[in-house]
Amino acid sequence: MSLFFNVPPIGNKTQAQKGPTCWFYAAKMIRKFHDAYDKTDHTSNIRLLSLVRKFITFMDEDLKNPVKMEGAPDYGDKPPLNFRGLQGMDKQINEHTQSDPFGMTLYIGLMRFANYQNSLTSSKPLIQPPPIFIDLTQDLSDPLSQGTVTRVPSGPPTSIEYEALYKMMLEWGRKNGFNRQAILQPWNFKELSKLCLIEALDSDERFENLLKLHGPLWVGGLFESGSLVPLKSGDKRPTFQVEEGKKAWVMQAQFRDDLANTHAIAILGIGNKTKPGMLLYRDPNCSEQVFVIPFDQFASRMKQVLKDANVSIMYYDCPRCGRGQQDACVHQPGKRATAGMGTVP
């Protein structure tokens, strides 16, 4: 048997991720598949997480190429080289001096981000975030468990949203070390148990059953970002026929030892008409194309690193799945296609 969920690409102009936010885009594609990416739904955290994505993308580039910005502070001496550099910063507040380099760096990044956002809407009244007076020595309420602000997601960020963004980033960094699973949980993504994965990774047939049960899957903690490169042109390689005659090219997967900063992808299905079985996926770096990798290669590596906290397979817990309503989503049967197997001539 073979199974293919026709998960749509990212949907922006380039169909590619921006900044170190593959985790967001892989999750976005899966939510779009479940028809759960309605930007007018203020209860679904879409606007707030989208703002998190924009902020990370901006701050990553801003730290790589810092420039003087009128009306905004500089990062000071020896700032992180990029956004991932924040992970290595001491996130504890000095009890004697009350110094907080981590919180201050985030705050400066926020002020510069707000300044940049204002420059994009210069024809409109500027929206400056007020000083965010938070006692950083006290435990903050966990914004990861809260919904976004109750307003229709349109227009530039408001002062309230900037404050919610800062609180979320501060808590996410301090409590979870920017762990991607933690930020996706409020977006209705649930992590599969290690025991469940060990059983499913035993064979491509069992993994197919897992996909049937949960739909397309979010995977993080395995791949080297940007290293899933095609085989050389002209080489004969297996391929899958998907809808509209599209072919899914076999990729060479390179795995990374630094599991905290690995690439995230969206698994769309599996084909096992011929051996070895092949895993189909979309890559946020080039989401318009469907790719495949040998299932046994994926399963072997996953078993090696499964105990690491940074390694995770998650699914979208669709509120309409399996509840018997007339409009219930059973992983969108109309969006399935049959994955065949062929050979590139």
pLDDT tens column, 181-216: 899 988 899 999 999 999 999 998 899 999 988 999
Residue 245 pLDDT: 52
Spatial distance between the Cα atoms of 1 and 21, rounded to a whole number of angstroms: 34
- Residues with Cβ within 8 Å of 167's Cβ and at least 6 positions away in sequence, in order, are 134, 140, 143
Confidence of residue 55 (pLDDT cuts 50, 70, 90): very high
Residue 255 DSSP one-character state: B
Q: Is the four-CA dihedral 294, 299, 301, 302 of positive or negative sign?
A: positive
What pLDDT is attached to residue 337? 57
Query: For residue 272, what pLDDT is reported?
Result: 63
Identity of residue 256: R
pLDDT at 199: 94
CA atoms within 13 A on the CB side of 25: 26
**pLDDT for res 251:** 61
165 in Cβ contact with 183 (< 8 Å)? no
- The residue among 135 and 262 whose pLDDT is bigger is 262
Tens digits of residue pLDDT in 213-238: 899 999 987 766 554 555 455 555 55
% the chain with pLDDT above 70: 67
- Mean pLDDT value across residues 253-258: 62
Pick the residue with more confidence: 125 or 300? Answer: 300
Closest listed residue to residue 172, CA positions, set 142, 128, 139: 142
Report the alpha-carbon distance of residue 211 to residue 203 in Å, rounded. 13
Distance CA 272, CA 59 (A): 43
pLDDT of 332 reads: 67
Spell out the alpha helix ranges (H) of 144-292: 159-176, 180-184, 194-200, 204-214
* For residues 279-308, average pLDDT: 84
pTM: 0.80
pLDDT band at 121 (very low <50, low <70, confident <90, very high): low
DSSP 231: P
pLDDT greater at residue 95 or residue 78 = 78
Helix axes 204-214, 295-305, angle to 10 degrees: 80
CA 51 from chain centre, in angstroms, equals: 13
pLDDT band at 132 (very low <50, low <70, confident <90, very high): very low
